[in-house]
Structure 1
Amino acid sequence: MTHYSHSIGGQTWRFDNLKEVLAKASPARSGDGLAGIAAASDVERVAAQMTLAEIPLKQFLVEAIIPYESDEVTRLIVDSHDAAAFAPVSHLNVGDFRDWLLGEQADEAALTALAPGLTPEMVAAVSKLMRVQDLVLVAQKVRVVTRFRNTLGLRERMATRLQPNHPTDDPAGIAASILDGLLYGNGDAVIGVNPATDSTSGICELLKMLDAIIQRYQIPTQACVLTHVTTSIAAIERGAPVDLVFQSIAGTQAANASFGIDLQLLQEGYEAGLSQQRGELGDNLMYFETGQGSALSANAHHGVDQQTCEARAYAVARRFKPLLVNTVVGFIGPEYLYNGKQIIRAGLEDHFCAKLLGVPMGCDICYTNHAEADQDDMDMLLTLLGAAGVNFIMGIPGSDDIMLNYQTTSFHDALYLRQLLGLRSAPEFEQWLARMDILKQDGQRLHLGRQIPAAFRPVLERLP
């Protein structure tokens, strides 16, 4: 086993393995402290970061932080590594790789070509050496474009997931939230409902409702009910109109087992979705959600720090060519990300790592009500992610999800970010907004109209 060390001020810090270096080098967060793997002091953290900077990237290909024999995610990472794609940076250590990423040679074409040659542990490692501005600067170089009924991830575009959750899955309540979101230009990433129940019959009814709305108004977007992959497969077998197949995923085999999944089951869900042939522009049809701390909360982290575990989940995601992936960054709670500072850092790390791995990354910019965070913190992360080129964010009435009981971003927040940074909707969705008179053309500028489009007025009349 390889041991690592670094001396600071006459004191030598020793680390037993690569896994320990990664954990001790990670910026402070409550989850790693809870796991007992965090640096004991800022000096030890700096020593670990300086040690990490000197480790060759090639070392990550020979020293597995979770054994190959006991973890199928490790096997996926190792077996799918593209040595040819890795070649341009194979001679670098982690610190040199950071410098390379910040340099002009690391442009969009170079980073896109490099993605199959990077492992999650490599990108997690380099993220630990980066400031916030570094995470933003490098991530904005990369665009990961996906297609189903529209085109997501293009430069100068930012999509939104319209999230019309309801605590009882009441159709009228869901419809009202969908209408509200569409009128604010939300919903191009997906109209996605977290169901209050997981019964297959109930899921099928929600799927039919969402499909009816999309078909009636010919909206160039996709629907998803965020249920377990087995329920989506069952719904497909019943003939329900399934656009996207959803699943929460994590970065270890044991953590995925706690979700009731493995790679084979995800493959079955992927193939079931493909069998529907519902995509019009492409066949990216998987939707994954992740979050730092999920492996630790399932006692399935193997002593690996939560940010590296999170990056490993992106290897699972990219295996299935997803349309959408997002980190629900502050949802798991303050036990894992204690305050606004930790949530902001984690969201930027997740976005950075996913983009370098070729994953179409969005973010649920959120916090639970018992976290030491507030909406000002979320405004900062929202703005930073917009500058970093995030693929999509959430759009929820009033920022308050009344079914899941957490705080996230509103329909208005998307308008703010689009106006501030000159971002636009997915092109096909933007054209639909213009046809529906939701968007108005004012010279070269598009803005929301002031009146309810005539096509939506019958819906309003039927709502309670």
Structure 2
Amino acid sequence: MRTCTIGGVSYRFPDLAGLLAKATPHRSGDALAGLAAETEAERVAARFVLADTPLSDFLEHPLIPPEIDEITRLILETHDRAAFAPVSGMSVGQFRDWLLSEAADAASLAALAPGLTPEMAAAVSKIMRNQDLILAAAKIRNVTAFRTTIGLPGRIATRLQPNHPTDDPTGILASAIDGLALGSGDACIGINPATDSPANVLRLLHMLDELRQRYAIPAQSCVLTHVTTTLELVRQGAPVDLVFQSIGGTEAVNSSFGVNLALLAEARDAALSLHRGTVGQNVMYFETGQGSALSAGAHHGVDQQTLEARAYGVARAFSPLLVNTVVGFIGPEYLYDGRQIIRAGLEDVFCGKLLGLPMGADVCYTNHAEADQDDMDVLLTLLGVAGCAFVIGVPGADDIMLNYQSTSFHDALYLRRVLGLSPAPEFAVWLAAMGLFDDQGRPRGVGPGHPLLELPHDLR
């Protein structure tokens, strides 16, 4: 039992899960689950108590018993006590102060990452202001590679997302060419298929691979189908670059997605056996989002942001090329408005980077949320300052297949220009060689006669 008295009122927090939930900035999902602080005073009291909580408590008192949850077992079994040693005597509040100090530089943070559990990352984020999250995240660089190198200083990549409501090849390729001409696609060219049949996914994989080879594009492709479909297609010899899967922070939510740790390991091994990478062999792509466990009834009384951090503990075990939070996609039941989406995006990128991941974000919202594109401009800019590894590029920022609002190819150009950022190095060389960008990194546009506008019929 942990207690704190404010204004003559004593607040009691019987366990760590409840304490973390009460300390979390207000969001609709925790209120829906009955976990949120009832008053701002209770939230402040919880933060005082959380700041005094030793980091080691999260090792000694798992939020979800390991006997019933393989994610808890993974977190505990892979914890690196030697890496944890430099901060093992700290409280959550002391850890925050250290993260913001000059002592916490890129090298020390990289060495620390294997010693941190997701719960520790979530805990410290709850007592940090937005600027704290940005400052700490900006120090961290987690670099991964396949055909391009992701996460380098001074760079931000984009996933080119050319979705189409009927998976029409001409529509997909038109969007892909639009994105490539504007410098998008260095994180990956990734399609969310409208239909998940193996035959359709195989067709899309071949189309993307032929596009890549035709123009010698140093990029990786991905069709975001279920991992079991991808695994079967790998066995058939399909041109699979990245294995995609949505994941969550509990065994139960992953079961609702039809996956477990053993299946993810099998798929990773299958993709590695293809040896398709040129500058690296990080072959996994994971997407996450606050609220997925609650929507599946699989949250075990733990707040949604802590469970999101636990999803990063899953991702970390598979050395992914890309991880991104689809931060506003699940809807206002979990993140109600622009303010909550902005806060969640900063938390997610901070926690993911702190745990050693190449963390990106889909800066997005659904049309029934109390948010708009101005909110996304703010979050996009803040994440760029925080050193987000990649963002999403959708034609016009409007995904016509998934029916939600994201960021556009032009938004990525804005971010690169205002912050002085560049694409992944391999991709930047290709953009210049194709005459798409000038020597200052500015788009030239494509005119009549440019090879990207003369796609052979067999690609369509």
- Which string of whole-angstrom CA distances, capped at 9 and with x for unpartnered residues, describes residues 24-76 of structure 1? 00000000000001000000000000000000001111001000111000000
Q: How many percent identity over aligned positions?
A: 65
- Is 1:90 matched with 2:94? no
**Counterpart for residue 448 of structure 1:** 443
- Is 1:222 matched with 2:220? yes
**Counterpart for residue 111 of structure 1:** 109
Residue type of the partner of 1:447? R
In 1, Cα distance between equivalents of 2:453 and 2:297 = 51
Q: Do 1:13 and 1:44's aligned partners in 2 also have CA atoms closer than 8 Å?
A: yes
The 5 Å alignment of 1:111-190 reads: 111-190=109-188
Q: Do 1:226 and 1:246's aligned partners in 2 also have CA atoms closer than 8 Å?
A: yes
**Counterpart for residue 411 of structure 1:** 409
Which segments of 5 or more consecutive residues in structure 1 lack a partner in the other structure? none
In 2, Cα distance between equivalents of 1:463 and 1:212 = 7
**Counterpart for residue 281 of structure 1:** 279
TM-score by length of 1: 0.98
247, 250, 253: which one pairs with 2:251? 253
The 5 Å alignment of 1:333-372 reads: 333-372=331-370
Residue type of the partner of 1:104? E
3-state SS, counterpart of residue 110 of structure 1: helix
**Counterpart for residue 80 of structure 1:** 78
**Counterpart for residue 425 of structure 1:** 423
Displacement of 1:238 in angstroms is 1.6
Residue type of the partner of 2:59? L
Q: Do 1:176 and 1:463's aligned partners in 2 also have CA atoms closer than 8 Å?
A: no
- Is 1:201 matched with 2:199? yes
29, 34, 37: which one pairs with 2:35? 37
3-state SS, counterpart of residue 350 of structure 2: helix
In 2, Cα distance between equivalents of 1:463 and 1:390 = 33
In 1, Cα distance between equivalents of 2:454 and 2:354 = 46
- Which string of whole-angstrom CA distances, capped at 9 and with x for unpartnered residues, describes residues 164-193 of structure 1? 000000000000000000000000000000
Displacement of 1:7 in angstroms is 1.2
In 2, Cα distance between equivalents of 1:407 and 1:457 = 27
**Counterpart for residue 383 of structure 1:** 381
3-state SS, counterpart of residue 248 of structure 2: coil
**Counterpart for residue 67 of structure 1:** 65
Displacement of 1:11 in angstroms is 1.6
3-state SS, counterpart of residue 367 of structure 2: coil
Residue type of the partner of 1:227? T
Q: Do 1:439 and 1:446's aligned partners in 2 also have CA atoms closer than 8 Å?
A: yes
Size of the aligned set, in residue pairs, is 459
In 1, Cα distance between equivalents of 2:236 and 2:458 = 29
TM-score by length of 2: 0.98
Displacement of 1:450 in angstroms is 3.7
**Counterpart for residue 453 of structure 2:** 457
Q: Do 1:207 and 1:225's aligned partners in 2 also have CA atoms closer than 8 Å?
A: yes
**Counterpart for residue 23 of structure 1:** 21
Q: Do 2:211 and 2:459's aligned partners in 1 also have CA atoms closer than 8 Å?
A: no
Flag the 1:299–1:141 CA change in 2: closer, same or farther, 3 A: same
3-state SS, counterpart of residue 273 of structure 2: helix
Q: Do 2:193 and 2:223's aligned partners in 1 also have CA atoms closer than 8 Å?
A: yes
Residue type of the partner of 1:253? E
3-state SS, counterpart of residue 441 of structure 2: strand
Displacement of 1:461 in angstroms is 8.9
3-state SS, counterpart of residue 422 of structure 2: coil
In 2, Cα distance between equivalents of 1:325 and 1:450 = 30
- Which string of whole-angstrom CA distances, capped at 9 and with x for unpartnered residues, describes residues 129-180 of structure 1? 0000001000000011000011110000000000000000000000000000
In 2, Cα distance between equivalents of 1:451 and 1:407 = 26
In 2, Cα distance between equivalents of 1:460 and 1:39 = 59
Flag the 1:236–1:461 CA change in 2: closer, same or farther, 3 A: closer
**Counterpart for residue 299 of structure 1:** 297
Residue type of the partner of 2:443? L
Displacement of 1:239 in angstroms is 1.4
In 2, Cα distance between equivalents of 1:101 and 1:436 = 42
Which segments of 5 or more consecutive residues in structure 2 lack a partner in the other structure? none
Flag the 1:461–1:80 CA change in 2: closer, same or farther, 3 A: closer
In 1, Cα distance between equivalents of 2:300 and 2:150 = 35
| RMSD (CA atoms) | 1.2
Displacement of 1:96 in angstroms is 0.5
In 2, Cα distance between equivalents of 1:450 and 1:89 = 51
- Which string of whole-angstrom CA distances, capped at 9 and with x for unpartnered residues, describes residues 308-365 of structure 1? 0000000100100000000000000000000000000000000000000001100000
Q: Do 2:181 and 2:445's aligned partners in 1 also have CA atoms closer than 8 Å?
A: no
Flag the 1:173–1:463 CA change in 2: closer, same or farther, 3 A: farther
Residue type of the partner of 1:323? L
- Which string of whole-angstrom CA distances, capped at 9 and with x for unpartnered residues, describes residues 90-136 of structure 1? 11000000000000000000000000000000010000000000010
Residue type of the partner of 1:458? E
Q: Do 1:29 and 1:337's aligned partners in 2 also have CA atoms closer than 8 Å?
A: yes
Q: Do 1:327 and 1:362's aligned partners in 2 also have CA atoms closer than 8 Å?
A: yes
